[in-house]
C-alpha cells in the first residue's frame, strides 16, 4: 500500500491532473492510506467546501493513527535528522513515522522530505 501525504491529497483535491492520474493509477492497484496527522491538516481548513472535500476523500482511504511504533520511528528519525542538520517540521516527522511503522511508501510533493534520505519516501 501507499501512504499519501497531505501535499499530494491537497493537489489531488485541487484537480492537479498529474497527481489525479497518479493517485488513480495507484488506486487501480492497491488500497491507499493516509495518517491521522494528515487528516488533521486537511480538516483544519477554514472553508466548508474544502473541509467537505477532505472528508469525502478521507472516507475512501485507510487512515492510520500515530501509535507507539510510529512514535519510536519518528523519534529515531528526529535524532538522525537533528544530528545531520536536515531537520523537517514536526508534523512531517509524525507522518513519516507512521508510514515507516507500516513499512509502506509515503508519496509526497514536499521536497523537504527528500532530505530525509529514506527509500520509502517518494517525492513527485
Domain count for the chain, please give it.
Answer: 1
CATH code of 9's domain? 3.40.50.1010
- Using one digit for the tens of pLDDT, what is the confidence trace for 18-42? 999 999 999 999 999 999 999 999 9
**pLDDT for 104:** 95
Contacts of 33 (CB under 8 A, 6+ apart): 1, 2, 3, 4, 61, 62, 63, 64, 102, 104
Q: How far apart are CA 56 and CA 47, in angstroms?
A: 15
Q: How far apart are CA 41 and CA 23, in angstroms?
A: 19
Identify the domain containing residue 96 by its residue range. Answer: 2-123
pLDDT band (50, 70, 90) for residue 119: confident
**pLDDT for 110:** 92
**pLDDT for 87:** 86
Contact 122, 106 (CB under 8 A): yes
The grid coordinates of residue 83 equal 544530528
**pLDDT for 82:** 92
- Using one digit for the tens of pLDDT, what is the confidence trace for 52-91? 999 999 999 999 999 999 999 999 999 999 998 888 999 9
**pLDDT for 83:** 93
Q: How far apart are CA 15 and CA 99, in angstroms?
A: 25
Contacts of 13 (CB under 8 A, 6+ apart): 50, 53, 54, 57
Amino acid at each position: 500500500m501507499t501512504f499519501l501525504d497531505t501535499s499530494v491529497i491537497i493537489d489531488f483535491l485541487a484537480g492537479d491532473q498529474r497527481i489525479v492520474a497518479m493517485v488513480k493509477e495507484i488506486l487501480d492497484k492497491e488500497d491507499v492510506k493516509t495518517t491521522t496527522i494528515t487528516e488533521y491538516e486537511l480538516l483544519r481548513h477554514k472553508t466548508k467546501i474544502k473541509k467537505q472535500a477532505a472528508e469525502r476523500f478521507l472516507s475512501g482511504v485507510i487512515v492510520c493513527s500515530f501509535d507507539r511504533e510510529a512514535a519510536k520511528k519518528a523519534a529515531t528519525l528526529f535524532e538522525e535528522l537533528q544530528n545531520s542538520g536536515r531537520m523537517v517540521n514536526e508534523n512531517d516527522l509524525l507522518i513519516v513515522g507512521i508510514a515507516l511503522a507500516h513499512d509502506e511508501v509515503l508519496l509526497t510533493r514536499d521536497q523537504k522530505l527528500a532530505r530525509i534520505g529514506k527509500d520509502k519516501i517518494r517525492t513527485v
